Structures are given as C-alpha cells and as structure tokens.
Amino acid sequence: MLVWGKKWGWMELAGAAFAVGIVLAAILKMEFLLRIWKHYTSYADAELWVDITVLQAAVHGGAVCLDGSPPAYHWHPGTGSGSRNWIVFLEGGAWCSDHASCAQRARTSFGSSDLMDRQTLFLGILSNSAQENPDFYNWNRVKVKYCDGASFAGNVNTTVTVAFDSDSQQALGLMYRGEKIWKAVVSDLLSKGMSNAEMALLGGCSAGGLAATLHCSSFKELLPRTTYVKCVSDGGYFLDAKDIAGNFSFRSFFKDVVDIHNARENLPEACVAEHDAQCFFPQYVAPHIHVPIFFVNPAYDVWQIQNIFIPDAADPDRKWTTCKYNPYVCSQDQLSVLQGFRTEFLKAVEYVRGVDQSGLFIDSCFSHCQLEGLTWNTNTIGNKTIREAFGDWYFARGGSSWKSIDCPYPCNPTCIKWTSWRH
C-alpha cells in the first residue's frame, strides 16, 4: 500500500478510495432497491383479493355502522396446518370527535358498509404467500372493516339525530356502536370455526392498532381457555405529548372522542379512575393489559408528527408545512425538534420495555403502519425484518427478550423513502 501511495501520490490514492466508496454505496443501495422490487413483484404476481362479508343479522342486535348499515369484514379461510389458527386484524382510519365530523364520516366507507369496497387486497401479515408471510400464510386471516369512528369502543344505545340532510330531505341519525360491532364480528367468527382455535392473534393498524390494544384482554376472554392468544398494534401507539406550541391538543381531541361515543365503559376501570379519558392513549392503558402484546411503531410516526406534534393550530405561520409532509426536506433545526419527539416516544414505551412477555419494534423510519405491504419484509432493525422479529416473539423463538429499538434517524438504510406523507 505504501509503494502504491508513493507511485500514485497520496491525493490520487485518496481520490481513488473515495471513488471506490461511492461505488460500494451505490451497490448497497441497488441491492436494497432490488430487494424492494423483488417483494413488489412477488406481491403483484400473487395478489389476493378477498370478498367482503356483510353481517346483516347483526343489525337486529344493534351492531351497526355510524349510518345504521351492518358491519362487515373480509375473511380468507386457513388451510392445512393453519386451519385452526386465526388472525383478526382491525382496519384503521382515525376517529370522529363530534356530531358534525361523524356525520361527514357516515357518508364514507369509514361510516357505512354500503360504501365499502366489495373486495380488499391482503398483503404483508395477511398475505397467503409462504415466501412473504411464512409464519401466518395458511392461517384464517380476517380484516374487520372500521365504520364506527372510535376504535370499536363506542357504546351509545340510542340514535343521535344531528341535522337535516338536504340531499335526502331527511333527518340524519348517527349510531355510535363500535363495541357492539366488535362483539358481533367476534361472535360470527366463533361460529365459523374460531371457537376451536388453537392459536389466535388480534391486531390492527393505526386506529385499528389502538382498538387491538383496547380489546386485547376481551379477545382472550371470548376464546377458549386453551387458545394461545397474543396481540399486536401496528402504528397504534398514539402519544399523549405536547405539540410544538406547548399544548396537549390531542389530549382534548381524544377526550371528545371518548365523550361523544360513551367509550369510558369499554376502558379499564382502574385506568379510568386514575387517568379518565386519557386511557384512550396506549401509554396509560398498557399496564392494564394482561395478555402479551407487541407494538410495531416508527419513532418518527408521520401521522403523529402531522396531527399530534405539529397540528395546523400549533403552526399558524405554516413554517412546518413542507417539513411535516416531506420530512426528507426538513432543515437541521427541524430535524433536531423531531428528534425530541422520538425521545418522548421512547419515554412513553418505557413501561412496555419492562414487561417480559411484551414486544417492541421501534424503527427510525418516517412511516406509520408497517405490517401490511412492503415494509413487513424490508424495514429492519439489526439483522431482523419486522416479519422476522414479530414471528420470533409470537412463537417465542430465540430467547426471552423481544424489544428492538432503532438508533436515531438517519441511521437505518432499510427504511423506504416515500416522497410525500400527506394524509
């Protein structure tokens, strides 16, 4: 090496080394992009579209969407060794916190089964591909549609008349029945074979991930005592934190959701006694869950950055608008503030880190839900993807601690870089 250095000159040698480094970096990036492309094409080649099941009979028991239409789900039956195992996955889609926003929601697929797609695509943890989903591909996999606006926790028995609908020339009635929907769906699945389940998993994305957290204990209670039960929340660990203006603005939003949907009755009594409506936040309800639960969440959850940490009301001059919808163009000062959000997030999961049977996968990606789609097999901490880390936890493989906390952004090259996160 010294001889080469003398022959070329140290400046030339340094330039050559830099060029080699650039080439190696390009190769590594290309390998990662090829890995993403491989997963994309494998999904495209074996798409699984699953028909909707509408529970017409549930209407008689009061289990209805916001507009009074029946609840619904998509079910792909299990086969072979997975025929007696079940995944029940709850759809996400935010919340409505007053009659006006719930009335608007009732006119969408998140408030009416009449407006839902008749088929949905099963990906990631719901895929039937043994390559993409080796642990759960042949299980019964169910995706429950979300149409109540309160993470399946509402409990108002009367119909709330809110306004006169000029289009239909009728008064608009709203029904806050999320808890009844939850029980009706589980009851129907029990009648279709889940009553004989050997293994079961309750999960959900975003508001559905919060619902899986809130219903984790009751899910176990509704199944046979011999069933092996665990839960997973994907992008559902919503933070009770101050926004950039120093206000707990989302705390008041969640309180409005709990109030209008009468959801306190479906929150742990001991938690409510201490924290009241804040028990809608996972960090307060987690100590009251006695079933093993796994939280998959980015430390830089883009939905939370946009709605909890930097809501529009906290940024009247719109200095954060570009950054919060495309974090890759944030200034260094803005990234430093976002690192503070990560710090608060890690504090909020501290209790979970101390529970032996619980699991965590907290990566440093700008993302939200990650169990359905490419990120299931691409986002990595250490040498394990989400799929591998979660599977090891669920089946208790490879040790007794399943807590993965990523280093701060931008350390993780496996994160998929989306060009925009506008919701």
Q: 361 is written with which tokens?
A: 């996968």
For residues 113 and 73, what is the distance between their CA atoms, to the nearest angstrom?
Answer: 10
For residues 262 and 339, what is the distance between their CA atoms, to the nearest angstrom?
Answer: 36
Closest CA to 178 of 208, 148, 201, 206: 148
Half-sphere exposure of 322 (CA within 13 A, CB side): 6
Other Cβ atoms within 10 Å of 77 Cβ, number: 14
Which residues belong to the active site?
206, 301, 368
Q: Is residue 339 within 8 Å of 406, Cβ to Cβ?
A: no
Q: 31 is written with which tokens?
A: 């390998």
Phi, psi of 387 (to 5 degrees): -55, -45
Q: What is the 3-state secondary structure (H, E, C) of 134-174?
A: CCCCCCEEEEECCCCCCCCCCCCCCCEEEEEECCCCEEEEE
Phi, psi of 315 (to 5 degrees): -135, 65
Instruction: Decide: helix, strand or coil at residue 86.
Output: strand
Cα 356 to the chain's mean position, in Å?
Answer: 22
